[in-house]
Chain A
Amino acid sequence: MTTLTYRQVLHDTLAQEMTRDERVFLMGEEIGVFEGSYKVTKGLLEQFGAKRVKDTPIAEEGFVGAAVGAAMLGLRPVVELMTINFSIVALDMILNHAAKIYYMFGGQTPVPMVIRTPGGGGQQLAATHSQNLEVFFSHIPGLKVVAPATPYDARGLLRSAIRDDDPVLFLENLGVYDVKGEVPDEDFDNDYTIPIGVADIKRNGTDVTLITYSRMVHTALEVAEQLQHEGISCEVVDLRSLRPLDMPTILQSVRKTNRAVIFEHDWRSYGIGAEIAAAIQEEAFDYLDAPVLRVAAAEVPLPYSKPMELAAMPSGEQLVSAIRKTVSKRW
Chain B
Amino acid sequence: MSSGVDGKTEEVKAAVRGNMEARASRAELLSYFRQMLMIRRFEEKTAEMYKKAKIGGYCHLNLGEEASIVGALSTLDSRDYIYTNYREHGYALARGMAPGAIMAELFGKEDGCSKGRGGSMHLFDNNLHFMGGYGIVGGQLPLATGAGFALTYKGEDGVVIAQMGDGATAIGAFHESLNLAKLWNLPVIFLVINNLYGMGTPVEKSSAVPELYRRARAYDMYAERVDGNDVLAVRDAMQRAVRLAREDKEPSLIELMSFRMKGHSVVDPDRYRTNEEKRYYAEHDPIQAYEEQLIAEGILTPEMIETTEAEIEREVESAVEFAEKSAFPKPEDLFQFMYATSVPNAVLEVKTY
User: Which of A's residues lie within 8 Å of B, judged by CB?
Assistant: 25, 51, 54, 56-57, 59, 61-75, 77, 92-93, 96-97, 101-112, 141-142, 144, 164-166, 195-198, 241, 244-248
B139 is an interface residue with CB less than 8 A from chain A: yes
- Partner pick for A103 among B141, B153, B337, B341, CB 8 A cutoff: B337
B2 at interface by CB-CB < 8 Å: no
Q: Is the CB of B142 within 8 A of A244?
A: no
- The complex places the Cα of A56 from the Cα of B337 at a distance, in Å, of 32
Chain B residue with Cβ nearest A74: B150
Q: Chain A's nearest CB lies how many Å from the CB of B168?
A: 13
Task: Kindly name the residue among B141, B143, B145, B147 whose own CB sees the greatest number of chain A CB atoms within 10 A.
Answer: B143
B131 in the interface (beta carbon within 8 A): yes
Q: Chain B: interface residue count, which band?
A: 35 or more
Give chain A residues whose Cβ lies under 8 Å from the Cβ of B154.
73-75
Assess the A62–B147 pair: CB atoms within 8 A. no
Q: Which 5 A-B pairs have the closest CB atoms?
A: A65-B142, A69-B146, A62-B176, A106-B115, A66-B146
CA distance A110 to B131 in the complex (A): 12
Number of A-B contacts (CB under 8 A): 168
Query: Chain A residues with Cβ under 8 A from B141's Cβ?
Result: 65
Determine if B124 and A67 form an interchain contact, defined as CB atoms under 8 angstroms apart: no
A66-B139 in contact (CB<8A): no
Contacts of A97 in B (CB 8 A): 134, 136, 139, 143
The verdict on B215 contacting chain A, using a C-beta distance below 8 Å, is no
A105 touches B341 (CB 8 A): no
Which residues of B does A touch, CB under 8 Å?
81, 83, 112-118, 122, 124-126, 131-132, 134, 136, 139, 141-151, 153-154, 172-173, 176-177, 179-180, 183-184, 336-341, 343-347
Collect the chain B residues with CB atoms within 8 Å of residue A101's CB: 132
Interchain CA distance A284-B117 in the complex, whole Å: 35
CA distance A239 to B59 in the complex (A): 43
8 additional A-B pairs beyond A68-B143, A108-B124, beta carbons within 8 Å, are A59-B180, A62-B145, A73-B154, A97-B134, A106-B114, A106-B118, A244-B346, A247-B347
Q: Is the CB of B180 within 8 A of A109?
A: no
CA distance A97 to B139 in the complex (A): 8
Q: How far is the CA of A164 from the CA of B344 in the complex (A)?
A: 13
Residues of B within 8 A of A69 (CB): 83, 131, 142-150
Find chain B residues with CB under 8 A from A72 CB. 131, 143, 146-147, 150
Q: Across the interface, do B117 and A197 meet the contact criterion of CB distance under 8 Å?
A: no
Q: How far is the CA of A65 from the CA of B172 in the complex (A)?
A: 12
Interface contact A65-B338, CB-CB below 8 Å? no
For the complex formed, measure the closest distance between the CB of B269 and the CB atoms of chain A, giving whole angstroms: 29
Task: Assess whether A106 is in contact with B116, with CB atoms less than 8 Å apart.
Answer: yes
A64 contacts B142, C-beta separation under 8 Å: yes
Distance from A72 Cβ to chain B, minimum over Cβ atoms (Å): 6
Contact of B143 among A65, A142, A164, A245 (CB under 8 A): A65
| 10 A-B pairs in the complex with CB atoms less than 8 angstroms apart | A65-B139, A65-B141, A70-B149, A73-B150, A96-B139, A105-B124, A142-B338, A144-B339, A241-B345, A247-B345
